[in-house]
Amino acid sequence: DSGVTQTPKHLITATGQRVTLRCSPRSGDLSVYWYQQSLDQGLQFLIQYYNGEERAKGNILERFSAQQFPDLHSELNLSSLELGDSALYFCASSVAGQGLTTDTQYFGPGTRLTVL
Amino acid sequence: AQKITQTQPGMFVQEKEAVTLDCTYDTSDQSYGLFWYKQPSSGEMIFLIYQGSYDEQNATEGRYSLNFQKARKSANLVISASQLGDSAMYFCAMRISGYALNFGKGTSLLVTP
């Protein structure tokens, strides 16, 4: 158990809908990262928050957004869902933000999203 | 751009034998970190081992060791005394200057009795 929690574990929804994925980082970790894993794209970085502020953006679609709350949990919002958004969404957390290559990211169990 | 290459889509190894999973990387940065993660069929991503670009010794964690050859830009994972529970996908990843991880496509390892 990494100490990172994600809910829900599975989510099935229809095209055009909006969903929210939730992540709680390990105790003491200030950074939260969101990744998407799909068969065709592999593991891709979406976005990073550090202590409530957006720190870095990756291949995140405009239909997707995220935030990190004062208690450091994070939510990833996916809207106008398409079939191609079906994937495993991971949250990871680490102690620091930028500047440290040694900062290990610990992953949650993931949320498997299926868009029908 | 930083790139991670894992050329072995699938590997087989017999129980109790050692296996090496290949990883090469491309970066012009001097400071970077290399990570290996394991993803069993249940889906979670499990951190295995880390190697920093300035580390002079190869990293080891139990049965896992990282064969780091900086000049060749390779960071191969060696699993000794393979166990059936080692069957999983293995991902090599690189982190530049504290940014997010950049992952390879992974290698599927099957350990046979």
Secondary structure (DSSP) of B58-98: PPEETTEEEEEETTTTEEEEEE-S--GGG-EEEEEEEEETT
- Count of CB contacts below 8 A, A vs B? 69
> What tokens were used for A66?
């995220």
User: Taking 80 as the threshold, does the pLDDT of residue B80 lie above it?
Assistant: yes
pLDDT of the residue at A6? 98
Residue type, position B71, single letter:
A
Residue A78 Cα to chain centre, angstroms: 10
Cβ of residue A58 closer than 8 Å to a chain B Cβ? yes
Residue window 19-38, chain A: list those with CB within 8 Å of chain B: 33, 35
Chain B nearest-CA distance from A111, in A, is 10
B53 band by pLDDT with thresholds 50, 70 and 90: very high
Nearest by CB: B99 against A56, A107, A112: A56
* Pairing relationship of beta strands B107-112 and B10-14 according to DSSP bridges: parallel
> What are the chain B neighbours of A105 within 8 Å (beta carbons)?
35, 47, 101
A40 band by pLDDT with thresholds 50, 70 and 90: confident
Nearest by CB: A101 against B33, B91, B106: B33
B72 band by pLDDT with thresholds 50, 70 and 90: very high
> What are the chain A neighbours of B66 within 8 Å (beta carbons)?
none
CA distances from B49 to A44, A71, B52 (A): 20, 29, 10
User: Taking 90 as the threshold, does the pLDDT of residue B99 lie above it?
Assistant: no
Q: If you average pLDDT over every residue of chain B, what do you get?
A: 94
> What tokens were used for B29?
């940065």
User: Strand, coil or helix: what is B14?
Assistant: strand
For residues A87 and A40, give the distance between their C-alpha atoms in angstroms, rounded to a whole number: 10
Nearest by CB: B103 against A43, A99, A112: A43
Q: What are phi and psi of A40, to 5 degrees?
A: -85, -30
